A and B are shown apart, each in its own frame.
Chain A
Amino acid sequence: MTPAVLLAAAPLPLLQNGLMVGAILFSLGLVGILTRRNLIVMFLSAELMLQGISVSLVAWSRYHGDFGGQVLVVFVLSVAACEAAVALVFVLQAFTRTGRLDSAAWQSLRESTLARSVDHEIPAIDAPLPVFPRLTPAGVSPEADADAALQREHV
């Protein structure tokens, strides 16, 4: 199918498909940013919402035969890059202060009328930890860093 035929064949269905994919991505990102507590995963969810918006904009741009939507997506991309840089710096600062990536570590900032959120039950790790192959040691072994060993059990 040549591009011209594609363009002429189904402009409205293509628009609706693109808008639908964008809507699904946006909704999933919304759920993620509402529920997840890891600061970085919350941030990934925000990026997911931006992706949904980009897909919708490009679908409209294709439908109208206008570059405006694509130009707007270029700007969305650059603003997302700026946002990622600044927000990751804030996440790092928050981590150096609390030692956790948990958003509940900052719940002292909540409204004074709200109750403190407490984790009543933490589920156990359900998946077995991955077993990595052990390489034959070679060369001089470096001095052991106790802090680093504490921080890197597994990922």
Chain B
Amino acid sequence: MSLFAQTEPATGSWLSTGLLLAVAVTSLAAGLWLLLPKAGRDSRWPWRLGAALGLLALGLFVVTGQRLGNLGEEAVFLIVSLVAVVSAAATITCRSPVYAAIWFALCLAGVSGVLLVLGAQFLGVATIVVYAGAILVMFLFVLMLAQPSGLAASDRVTNEPLLSAVAGAVLLGLLSLSIGRLSAEDPACCRPPSKAAALAGEPTSPVPVGEAVDLLAADQVARLGGELFGRHLVAVEAVGVLLLVALIGAIAIVSHGLEGDQAERSSLQEGGSP
């Protein structure tokens, strides 16, 4: 079982796949629109209806995926991806920005689980350490520094919730259509290409020349490090310089901004104009 079933969909089924996908997209848009904070909300029922519609859309996407291609088999993958997706939806619909940040942390846990299932052990751990450990804590620091009063008025309304929800849902529908059409027989997209031929711009030969690596070998982290510091050494150095520049730039902006503010204020006081 995988998210997109390998078997051909039954042609005579009473519900066509396109109709299912349309219903999924519509209910996702409606659910997101109901969940997003907006004016005129005085009871809990829009939230409940929106959550129900969102879960319905999720189920419909799974069913549509099964008809388009293959449906997901690993229970672990389904569970961690469900955690990631549901908490991502909670991140963008939560009214309090602090709760949004906490939901984002849960989403990161789910994403790191997905990365682990996909065989990227180092990245799964690095996502937790770098994102949840450093970047998210920085967000929370800024929130605590800056939030004037917990629930600002601007957190309870949104810009164009209906249009944005429709845009996101339609984008997801289009993406899932194109993902469902991927198949191993299509030589242009999905056959593992031979690296040498791809680099030379030649058409890929049916037999891959560059050997595919077993990504799940026991020493995969060591081999990832070898790849990183072998083929991509210059890029790693460049990223190191970028990190340093960002650090210096952040400090410079802060200190210069403070000086600029003080200069502005003193000039205003000397000029006597407001």
Contacts and interface: CB of A to CB of B under 8 A. Distances in A.
Interface in B156-213: 156-161, 163-165, 167-169, 171-172, 175-176, 179-180, 182-184, 190, 192-193, 195, 212-213
B135 interface: yes
A27 B146 CA distance: 28
Given A36-B158, A67-B215, A78 B104 contact: no
B98 interface: yes
Interface residues of B, number: 117
Contact of A29 (B65, B71, B92): B92
A101 B155 CA distance: 9
Nearest to B85: A24
A89 B254 contact: yes
Given A35-B160, A77-B126, 20 more contacts: A6-B216, A10-B70, A10-B73, A12-B190, A13-B70, A15-B182, A16-B180, A19-B175, A20-B3, A32-B91, A34-B163, A35-B92, A36-B159, A37-B155, A44-B91, A54-B123, A93-B257, A102-B153, A123-B42, A151-B149
Nearest to B226: A67
Contacts of A19: 175, 179, 182
How extensive is the interface on chain A, given as a class? 35 or more
A65 B215 contact: yes
Given A7-B214, A36-B158, A74 B123 contact: yes
Closest 5 CB pairs of A and B: A13-B2, A65-B212, A32-B92, A82-B246, A102-B154
B6 interface: yes
Interface stretch (B13-21, B33-41, B266-274): B33-41
B226 to A, nearest CB: 9
B247 interface: yes
A88 B214 contact: no
Interface string A90-119: 111101110111111000000000000101
Contacts of B157: 37, 119, 122-123
Contacts of B23: none
Most chain B CB inside 10 Å of its own CB: which residue of A15, A63, A67, A92: A67
23 contacts: A4-B216, A6-B216, A11-B184, A14-B118, A16-B179, A29-B88, A31-B165, A34-B168, A36-B158, A38-B154, A48-B91, A61-B120, A65-B192, A71-B231, A77-B123, A91-B146, A95-B145, A100-B148, A100-B152, A120-B39, A122-B153, A123-B42, A123-B157
Nearest to A7: B216
